[in-house]
Amino acid sequence: GAVVSQHPSRVICKSGTSVKIECRSLDFQATTMFWYRQFPKKSLMLMATSNEGSKATYEQGVEKDKFLINHASLTLSTLTVTSAHPEDSSFYICSARVAGGRETQYFGPGTRLLVL
Amino acid sequence: AQKITQTQPGMFVQEKEAVTLDCTYDTSDPSYGLFWYKQPSSGEMIFLIYQGSYDQQNATEGRYSLNFQKARKSANLVISASQLGDSAMYFCAMRVAGGTSYGKLTFGQGTILTVHP
């Protein structure tokens, strides 16, 4: 299957700093990538849809200015958590859509963010 | 609006036995896809199986099969011959066609499966 990577896998930062998370499709081009947030033992909540070359579409309740998403190329999308606070601590997972057929989404391994 | 419901927070099964994880969905869109993902403790989401709304036959992938009952709007996952490595969180998800976020998935609450030796 298609491979999606995320970097970093784990990050600890101080409150007030910004953190950038990268999501890359390694062996295919992804015109659409998705960013999810997951709390321990809970479901995945879609934050935004990232389309290459255009502005991201955010889900209701997600702060656009706090969670900046950039999809600069067909293989890379980034999520920047600006002015991070302890409540932003979570597991962030990206996925990339493989067009055609099943329209399967392949997920990255996730990034655990801890804001102190 | 689309909704996915998994009513079993936790399930237990003996090794080598079969287990069914329940999933019901709700959508008014006639074209949709149903997915099952496995999430072990490491956090990665592993794609297991897919069922399209127009597929006539139930999907199967190795030990995984999807019991698709369209009239009941259910898409239960059946795992045959359970293995210890099957212990994980399992998510049912649905994708509907169209819209500005084409391809986005809506997930159920998840079911934690524990396989006993």
- Tell me which residue of A99, A100, A97 sits closest to A4, measured CA to CA: A97
Q: What is the predicted pLDDT for the residue at B103?
A: 74
- Tell me which residue of A81, A98, A89 sits closest to A4, measured CA to CA: A98
| 3-state percent breakdown (helix, strand, coil) of chain A, nearest 5 | 5, 55, 45
Quick one: average pLDDT of B50-69? Answer: 95
Among residues 24-83 of chain B, which lie with CB inside 8 Å of chain A? 33, 35, 37, 42-47, 50, 52
Q: What is the predicted pLDDT for the residue at B62?
A: 97
Q: Above pLDDT 70, what percent of chain B?
A: 95
- Asked if B102's CB is within 8 angstroms of A107's CB, the reply is no
| Chain A positions in Cβ-Cβ contact with residue B91 (cut-off 8 Å) | 43-44
Give the torsion through C-alpha atoms of B60, A104, B30, B62, to 10 deg. 0
**What number of C-beta contacts closer than 8 Å exist between A and B?**
65
pLDDT in tens, B75-97: 999 999 999 999 999 999 998 76
Beta bridge partners of B66: B77
From the CA of B45, how many Å to the nearest CA of chain A? 6
**Which of residues A19 and A72 earns the better pLDDT score?**
A19
Q: Does B89 touch chain A (CB under 8 A)?
A: yes
Q: What is the predicted pLDDT for the residue at A54?
A: 84
